[in-house]
Amino acid sequence: MRRGERFQACLIRAAFFFLIPGLIPAAGAADYVGSNVCRTCHSDIYSTFYRNPHFKSVASGKEKPENTGCEGCHGPGSEHVAAGGGRDTIPMAFSAAPPGKILDTCLRCHAQTISRANIRRSVHTGNDVVCTNCHSVHHSQTPKFLLQKKQVDLCYTCHATVRAQFSMPFKHRVNEGFMQCTDCHNPHGTYPPTWRTADRPRMVDQAQANEEPCLKCHIDKRGPFVFEHPAVRFEGCETCHNPHGSVNARLLKRPVVFTMCLECHSGLGTFGPLGGIPRTDTLHNLADPRYQNCTTCHVRIHGSNSNIYFFR
């Protein structure tokens, strides 16, 4: 520490000692000093803290010292004050803390709104991506959720391949601001999905407790239907569609409809009460352009209440 910095630290300690008697306890006895003391040095942070959701712990005046203001997250500050500053004297310095400790600290309060079990087993946590990688408590750039930057830009920081998909000709309008990533995904982790269980879709949220989030917007595909399309019911939308973006119309995985259908409907068999796999014979000569767009006839391909073959 330079001479000028040592002198400034001494002045701060002297001011606390004379202006606030009894504030600094005996050495080794860490205690809570209150957010007003933090304000003396960290005025740049505290000047806007009243707009922070965490300020309600100060405004209520009912919380215990360990749950109030600055020390609610950083721990008791008496040793930090007595030492005249320094990151090493803060019980919880987020910039130097390991990911697990950061997560534990935030979950002291936020476990009521975030599933503790899900976030600990999530893909983000498994890759050491924790709260402070996405949220900025002191210098948030967004009015909601204290995000470090606009949500889509924040997600693109890591998910560069997904960003490329949203630049394809057919895509969901995330870049345009019509929707955002959390409309479909839960960054804090989710319960195991009820569809495509073997694939374990990453952090894909559930709608209506056990359905894909696609059905929140595409409600006409929800059902239940009298005649279900097994691929839709059990495998899910991603069987045929690329949800982020595609070079094919309707976000399909293949450019021609019949080649998409032939991924499943390519063997022998007939339709039965539960729906089988139809054979491709002269009745459906796929060399004939008339039969190369299956949905011309099978229009209710997501499910039907009137016809087992998904006709109109």
Which of 84, 67, 83 shows the shortest CA–CA distance to 32?
67
For residue 288, with 0-12 CB atoms within 10 Å meaning exposed, 13-18 middle and 19 or more buried, which class applies? exposed
Which tens digits make up the pLDDT trace of 181-195? 999 999 999 888 888
pLDDT at 14: 42
Q: Give the range with max mean pLDDT: 5-19, 208-222, 240-254.
A: 240-254
Q: What is the pTM (predicted TM-score) of this model?
A: 0.81
What Rg, from alpha-carbon coordinates, does the chain have?
29
Helix (H, G, I), strand (E, B) or coil at 120: helix
94-103, 147-156, 171-180, 200-209: least confident range: 200-209
Mean pLDDT of the residues in the chain: 84
Q: What is the pLDDT of residues 117-142, one digit of tens each?
A: 889 989 999 999 999 999 999 999 88
- The whole-number pLDDT of residue 162 equals 95
Beta bridge partners of 241: 252
- CA distances, 297 to each of 8, 294, 301, 310 (Å): 82, 6, 9, 8
pLDDT band at 197 (very low <50, low <70, confident <90, very high): confident
> Which residue did the predictor score with more confidence, 196 or 253?
253
What are the backbone angles phi and psi of residue 151, rounded to the nearest 5°? -55, -50
Q: Which of 43-47, 55-59, 248-252, 263-267 has the lowest mean pLDDT?
A: 263-267
Are the C-beta atoms of 122 and 134 separated by less than 8 Å? Answer: no
Name 189's bridge partners. none
Higher pLDDT residue, 13 or 153?
153
Domain ranges of the chain: 3-89, 97-148, 223-304
Task: Report, as an integer, the average pLDDT of 88-106.
Answer: 94
Please give the Cα distance from 173 to 243 (Å, whole number): 11
